[in-house]
Structures are given as C-alpha cells and as structure tokens.
Amino acid sequence: MKKGAGSAKSESATAVDESSVSASGTNTDASQAGPDQDRSPDTENLPMSGIRVIDVGTFLAGPYAASMLGEFGAEILKVEHPINGDPMRRFGTASKRHDATLAWLSEGRNKKSVTMDLRQREGVELFLKLVAKSDVLIENFRPGTMEEWGLGWDVLSKANPALVMLRVSGYGQTGPYRSRSGFAHIAHGFAGLSYLAGFPGETPVVPGTTPLGDYLSSLYGAIGILLALRHSEATGEGQIIDIGIYEAVFRQMDEIAAAYGMFGKVRQREGAGSFVAVPHGHFRTIDDKWVAIACTTDKMFERIAEAMGRPELASAEYYGNQRKRLAARDEVNRIVIEWVGSLTRDEIMKLCIDGEVPIGKLNSIADIFEDEHFLARGNLAHIKEDGVGDVVIPGVVPTLSETPGRISNLGPPLGNATYEVLRELLGITGPEIQRLRQRKII
C-alpha cells in the first residue's frame, strides 16, 4: 500500500451526477487551507493509516464512503474540476464560506481538494500519475463516463494493477437500465421502499427527506473497499466494486421478496404501524408530542397493560395472544391511543421505561440537540471552521475502543491541496504547476 504524502489521507441530492458533469475545483493554494481547529491530525495509529483514496465523484453516493475511510486514517484526495468543483458545494443551506454549504462542510469532511480537468489530455495524464500512487479510486458517474475520458478500467489497472475501484451508479454498470441517471429519490422508489411509505390507500410519500440510498450505497461501498483491499494486499490484484444505489436500498427490505416469491404477497403501506405487531407505531401525547411504542411479543403487551393499569387486557380472554391482538388491531390501537393521549410525553416515557415497555421519543433536531444521550455519546461534533464559526455535524460512527476515528477537517476549500499533491507527491515543478494553472488543467 502507498503511504500518504501528508497528514490524514480523500444527491444529498443524490449520488449519480449527469455524465455531463466532470470531476472537478478552483485554484486555491495549500497555504490557504483552514487553521488548526482543535482536531487531532494524528493518523499513525488509525486502522486505515497508509491508505490513499482518490474520490473523483460528486454529491454523496460513493464520496460518503471516502469520508468514512478518512475518519479512520485514510488520506482522501478529492479530485474536482478547476472551475466550480463538486456541485455539492452549492447544495443545501448556505454557510458564511462562499464555496461551501453546510452539507459540503459536513459530508466533505476529512478530505483534501485537488483540482484537475479530466476532459483535457494533460488532466488525464496527471490523474493517472495520481492513480499509480494510490490504493483506492471512487467514482459515481453515469456508466461509460470514465471510459469517455480515457479512464476505463483497462487504463486504470494498467497504471496500478493493485487498484481497488468503487463504482456507484443509479442502476449499476450492467443491465438494461445502466445508462439511466440515478438519484436516491429514484432508487427508493425503484427498490420498493417508497411504495411502503405512507398510509393505506394514500399517495406514497418520501421515506424521510434525506438521501438514504446515497448513504446506504456508500456504506456497502466502504465494506467492499475493505474486502477488496484485503484481497489486493494478499495477491497484488485490484478489482472493481459495482453498486447500484437501488441495490443498497433493496437489500434492506427484510422478507418482502421471500413473501412474494412463496405466497404472492404484496406488502402495502401501513402508516406508522406494522402488519406483524400491535400496538406498534407512533402515538401523540396530550402536550402534542409523539412517542414510538414497539410491542412484538405477548410479554411486551403484558408490560404495556400493566403500565396502563389494565392488566386484564393481557389475559387470554382479551388480547394476551398475538393473533387475537392482530385480529383486533383497530380496537387495541384505540385503547393505546387514548391512554397515550391522556398523558404528557414525560409522563408516558416514565411509565413505560419503569415498566420496561419499549418506547422512544420522536425527536426533532431541536430535541436531539438537548438530549443527554446524544451528548454523552458524542453524536454531535462541534467543529470551529475559519470564516464560518462553530459547525455542528454528526460525529464519527462506529466507535472503536482502541483506534477511534476523528474529524481532521470539514469540507475543504476548492483546490486547497492541489499544489501540495502535485509538488510533493507527483514531483511536478513550480513553473510547470503555474503553466497548468494558466491552461486551466488544474
């Protein structure tokens, strides 16, 4: 594996950018990078230390995998176009930094920005030199785009036979839909998730307003990279990891494939409930807040009945048996709705927790910022960013006891590491770098 040249190694819109968008950034010298912001730059003892990753994708599906690897010590080189860079820099809520939305600051974490125009021959040549000194390449363009730029697998693997390449796209690199553009919203629908979101007989809704498919495909991508790196270390042979965003979503769909294949059963929208359990859903409290209650066994229902002060409901005569509860779903739900609706959220939470009834708050982000458990677990990371101020982002997951990850920097200024990488890693002289800048190659 190649050792990194510096300190830490690179659609909330969705993942797959149109093929017309090149991998891209502006020309900011490394000297313009943000200041030390009370973050640990030490990567020597982290599990991915010594691994160099090139992230040439845009938006989130794929690039998020690079961010995760960077949290655990990999050097991440974010290759962007010299003019505008990754479109995610302009996606979401604006920050005080002109080239960075809050989405970019959060999800572009732990990366260095290097600008190269891959539509120009000299840009491709520079990129191949970088590939030769790296371990992993991540891209998420429409299938065929890299090949159009002269950067197909045949060329890349010749430059680096041990290269591991993650390719994320809407529908994967093969199949009749391979050339279609892909976004998480589309993948949620195509994979069957959106069909299940909403209330019976009503319009299917977006299953949350975050690009879940982008995150899921990146998680599978990160796993694939780790597996492929192990193979590469053992054999010296690289390989391609091919993920369609819809596949990552479909893999989370529990038994629906088996149930349809065996019985022809098509699961429908069930609102906040579940066809396999009752009471199991979201309930409004008297102070107009919400809780989630999960009851999947007879023992759990016995506890709920005790908490309600109505233990007889858990008897065989009433609803003590799961089948009887399911048959009387509306009546059981009505009883629980009335009970929860007569109490405040704090009151219902205490009764259920004391009675060992599975319950949780339906938190808004405002609730999360005040929640003692989020705070105790370090789930909210406060990072001071030059020119922006205090930025709160999700902390590192997972938590490793001996080699915990870290956040070395937020989404970088465009091209902040171009000079460093070209001069120190690729050995290109200052005058040549200046010529490349003048020609807008970098």
Q: Which residues have a catalytic role annotated?
A: 214
269/435 Cα distance (integer angstroms): 60
H or E segment to which residue 326 belongs: helix 322-327
Joined tokens for residue 127:
């990129």
Contact indicator for 290, 362 with CB cutoff of 8 Å: yes
Beta-bridge partners for 384: 390
Contact indicator for 159, 130 with CB cutoff of 8 Å: no
Q: According to DSSP H, which parts of 328-364 are helical?
A: 329-341, 345-354
Burial of 94 (0-12, 13-18, 19+ CB in 10 A): exposed
Number of other residues whose CB lies within 10 A of the CB of residue 285: 19
Joined tokens for residue 48:
């991915």
| Strand pairing report for 136-139 and 164-169 | parallel
242/172 Cα distance (integer angstroms): 6
Q: For residue 136, what are the contacts with CB-CB under 8 A and spacing of at least 6? A: 51, 52, 53, 54, 69, 74, 163, 164, 165, 166, 225, 229
Tell me how far CA of residue 218 lies from CA of 140, 202, 310, 363, in angstroms.
10, 31, 47, 25
3-state class of 264 per DSSP?
coil
| Strand pairing report for 136-139 and 239-244 | unpaired
Whether the CA torsion 136, 112, 215, 37 is positive or negative: it is positive
Contact indicator for 47, 437 with CB cutoff of 8 Å: no
337/148 Cα distance (integer angstroms): 59
Contact indicator for 184, 15 with CB cutoff of 8 Å: yes
Contact indicator for 342, 284 with CB cutoff of 8 Å: no
Chain center to CA of 315: 45
